[in-house]
């Protein structure tokens, strides 16, 4: 036992007593949360673009309305220092729209000229609103009335091709010409203004026919949405007092579980990855042979694993302290799920032992780092697998996908913490069963890794094939 403790202390000091450890502690959160940090830093750094848009309105109903709305929008952006409704995100390019109305008919020659102006950046886009834009059109088969009943006749089926042709015809549609028309914010904004204008006009026409002159205003008032506030569950305390928990806001509900998941991933990554390099270095420089003169392979591997676990707990404490200080500064202390800390530590220890043992076995099996890349790929896929489906697990933490992933030992530490951080009532037996399954799997993996380590650490020459490594694991030689 004394030898194991000595090796563990040596491994712990080698892990946390270097400048590389300090650098990785600082860099990992930046790499993992760089997007959020960038949004925070670029909150007011966004660029303002002036977009000049030409509009040909053959209906005579929309151009002036769009021009007025553009001026109001620009004034609002100026008053709010460039941050207003319609921006994609903080720090994104903000757009001011300046509308130029084209009189007369648009010819092909004029389209070419306007396109050349867009290429030379004298113009951002031009819009064509045809004279038939306000005419009623059959946009789909349901609008023909054929699908309003349960019975569809043969004549209806024969009209499908004709209706589809009407829907695909662009002659009555408004066209937006730009070099980035598919992703243009201006296109979406113009479409919104036009649709609101058309809606108001149609309602006014219906109101005049039915002698209800203020129909558009009445419909707008009747369409005001009701606010639905998300709340937590109602609980009764031991003294009989009933309390209603306030529900989490959307950002907290989504990103808090993600932060917990990423913290688990970073701790396992930072603790396990150095084991590969440490074992490989000791093997290539024949240091392992000297160490094996004082301790047997099992003692050496056990000491290394214990030192790695101690190092991972140090990483966790540092990150937890840093997160707590940041939350105090931000006023988010009520959002920190301190009750999850015991589960986090338990699953962290299991995850570090599981993956560190695998990395040690791989390091003992190869002679050069590049030879380990092929073996590392499936291991990384196992470790990162919860990240591929984390959003589905957050949305349905009690679903079959979430439950299955959290009971799959290689993914249990990350996925179970992701589920617990959602705040939903996970059945008590699932974390317990996840811990038991992970503990069994960890013991099994450590046992196989120890057998590989015992043979591989003294192996010299050509690196063994996968089949030989598996033979070491299951037969011991």
Spatial contact of 443 and 411, defined as CB atoms under 8 Å apart: no
> Alpha helices, DSSP H only, in 120-249?
154-158, 160-168, 185-209, 215-222
171 burial (CB, 10 Å; 0-12 / 13-18 / 19+) is: exposed
Q: Compute the distance between CA of residue 77 and CA of residue 94 in angstroms, rounded to an integer.
A: 9
First to last CA, the chain: 26
* Neighbour-count burial of 222, counting CB atoms closer than 10 A to its CB (0-12 exposed, 13-18 middle, 19+ buried): exposed
Q: What is the pLDDT along the chain (477 residues), one digit of tens a residue?
A: 777 888 788 778 777 777 767 777 777 666 655 555 555 555 555 567 889 999 999 888 888 999 999 999 888 887 765 444 444 444 445 788 999 999 888 888 999 999 999 999 899 999 999 888 887 655 444 444 444 444 445 555 455 555 454 445 556 788 899 987 777 888 999 999 988 888 888 888 787 777 777 776 777 777 777 777 666 667 777 777 887 666 566 667 778 888 888 889 988 888 888 888 888 777 777 776 667 667 777 777 788 888 888 888 888 888 888 878 877 877 777 777 888 889 999 999 999 999 998 888 888 887 777 777 778 888 888 888 888 888 889 888 888 999 999 999 999 999 999 999 888 888 999 999 999 999 999 999 888 888 888 887 777 667 777 778 888 888 766
d(CA 22, CA 315): 10
Q: How would you classify the pairing of strands 175-178 and 125-129?
A: antiparallel
- Euclidean distance between CA atoms 178 and 463, whole angstroms: 58
Q: Which two tokens stand for residue 199?
A: 């809606």
Place of tokens 């591929």: 388
pTM tops 0.85: no
Would you kindly state where each structural domain of the chain is located, as residue ranges?
50-135+172-221, 250-475
Residues 6+ apart with CB under 8 A from 453: 279, 297, 300, 301, 360, 361, 364
What DSSP letter does each residue of 91-155 carry, written as one string? Answer: TSPEEEEEEEEPPSPPPHHHHHHHHHHHHTTS-SEEEEE-TTTTS----SGGGGTGGGSS---HH
CA distances from 386 to 164, 383, 403 (A): 43, 7, 12
Q: Nearest CA to 444 among 353, 369, 375?
A: 353
Tokens of 314: 């140090």
Closest Cα partner for 445 from 377, 334, 359? 359
CATH architecture under which domain 50-135+172-221 falls: 3-Layer(aba) Sandwich (3.40)
402 and 391 Cβ atoms separated by less than 8 Å: no
């Amino acid at each position: 036992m004394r030898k194991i403790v000595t090796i563990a202390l040596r491994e712990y000091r080698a892990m946390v007593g270097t400048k590389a450890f300090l650098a990785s502690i600082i860099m990992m959160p930046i790499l993992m949360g760089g997007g959020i940090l960038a949004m925070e830093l670029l909150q007011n750094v966004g660029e303002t673009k002036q977009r000049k848009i030409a509009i040909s309105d053959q209906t005579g109903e929309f151009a002036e309305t769009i021009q007025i709305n553009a001026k109001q929008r620009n004034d609002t952006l100026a008053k709010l220092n460039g941050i207003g409704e319609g921006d994609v995100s903080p720090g994104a390019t903000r757009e001011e729209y300046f509308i130029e109305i084209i009189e007369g008919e648009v010819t092909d020659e004029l389209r070419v000229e306007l396109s050349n102006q867009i290429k030379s950046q004298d113009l951002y886009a031009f819009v064509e609103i045809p004279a038939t834009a306000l005419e009623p059109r059959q946009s789909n088969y349901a609008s023909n009335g054929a699908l309003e009943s349960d019975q569809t006749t043969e004549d209806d089926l024969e009209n499908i091709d004709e209706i589809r042709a009407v829907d695909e015809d662009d002659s009555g549609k408004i066209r937006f010409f730009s070099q980035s028309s598919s992703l243009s914010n201006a296109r979406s904004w113009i479409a919104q203004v036009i649709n609101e204008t058309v809606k108001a006009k149609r309602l006014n026409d219906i109101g005049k026919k039915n002698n209800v002159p203020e129909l558009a205003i009445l419909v707008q008032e009747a369409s005001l949405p009701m606010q639905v506030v998300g709340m937590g569950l109602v609980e009764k305390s031991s003294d009989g007092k009933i309390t209603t928990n306030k529900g989490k806001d959307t950002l907290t509900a989504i990103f808090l579980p993600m932060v917990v998941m990423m913290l688990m991933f970073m701790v396992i990554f930072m603790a396990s990855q150095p084991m590969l390099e440490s074992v490989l270095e000791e093997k290539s420089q024949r240091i392992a042979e000297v160490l094996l003169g004082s301790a047997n392979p099992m003692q050496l591997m056990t000491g290394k694993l214990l030192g790695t676990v101690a190092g991972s707990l140090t990483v966790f404490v540092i990150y937890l302290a840093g997160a707590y200080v940041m939350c105090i500064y931000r006023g988010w202390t009520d959002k920190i799920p301190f009750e999850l800390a015991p589960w986090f530590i338990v699953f962290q220890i299991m995850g570090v032992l599981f993956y560190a043992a695998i990395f040690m076995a791989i390091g003992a099996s190869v002679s050069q780092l590049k030879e380990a890349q092929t073996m590392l790929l499936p291991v990384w896929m196992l470790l990162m697998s919860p990240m591929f489906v984390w959003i589905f697990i957050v949305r349905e933490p009690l679903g079959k996908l979430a439950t299955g992933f959290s009971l799959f030992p290689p993914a249990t530490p990350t996925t179970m913490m992701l589920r617990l951080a959602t705040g939903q009532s996970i059945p008590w037996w699932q974390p317990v069963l996840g811990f038991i399954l992970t503990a069994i799997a960890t013991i099994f993996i450590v046992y196989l890794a120890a057998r590989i380590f015992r043979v591989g650490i003294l192996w010299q020459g050509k690196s063994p094939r996968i089949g030989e490594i598996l033979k070491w694991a299951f037969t011991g030689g």
